[in-house]
Structure 1
């Protein structure tokens, strides 16, 4: 089997409304679907999906829990601009900036929590 790419990531949360406001307002992600049990955003070529921890899909993890995810997004803006942007929204940087190794080489990253305490790494690759 040859894997080509990631299509989507699903994260479990308690509060879809708070999650929607955070990702749509702070990260300016376009909303694709939003109802009482599912929230979908476009994130580059992929989808970022949020489900409530009480979602009834048969193919969910056995014990879904909110706040147990960590993922990394590649930023188009500089980390200094992003740091200012996050401060305007009252989003605390919990770590960084620091150099780390990413899928495509060395990058600088900062880390924040979403309202459910999932960790979001925001990176900037060196040119």
Structure 2
């Protein structure tokens, strides 16, 4: 077997509406409904499925917990930079910008927290 890519991942969240608002407003993800009324955040060829704490879809993680994720997202800040974008959306920066190592090379990263306090690393590859 050969793994090709990540298709989706699941975040367990305290509030699906608050999570959707943050990820759509700040990160430009599209809120989509699928299946029998389930909610996901779509971007590129990937998505993040959302599970409400206490109402997780089966099968689920062994110990689903809101706020336990640490994700790195490659972003395109558009005409500005990541710091200016976050400031414009009044998002506190946890750390950064700092240089890290991404899957295919060096990245410049800024760390923020989502509504559940998941650590979200917003990165761009250094060219």
Partner of 2:108: 108
Structure 2-normalised TM-score? Answer: 0.90
After superposition, where does 1:17-28 map in structure 2 within 5 Å? 17-28=17-28
- List structure 1 segments (4+ residues) > 4 angstroms apart after TM superposition: none
Partner of 2:60: 60
After superposition, where does 1:1-127 map in structure 2 within 5 Å? 1-33=1-33, 38-77=38-77, 81-127=81-127
Structure 2 unaligned regions, length at least 5: none
Partners of 1:60 and 1:87 lie apart in 2 by: 35
Q: Contact conserved, 1:111 with 1:120, CA < 8 A, in 2?
A: yes
Aligned-pair Cα RMSD in Å: 1.9
Partners of 2:99 and 2:56 lie apart in 1 by: 40
How many pairs are equivalent?
Answer: 125
Q: Contact conserved, 1:13 with 1:53, CA < 8 A, in 2?
A: yes
Structure 1-normalised TM-score? Answer: 0.90
Give, in angstroms, the shift of residue 56 of structure 1: 4.3
Q: Contact conserved, 1:30 with 1:41, CA < 8 A, in 2?
A: yes
Structure 1 unaligned regions, length at least 5: none
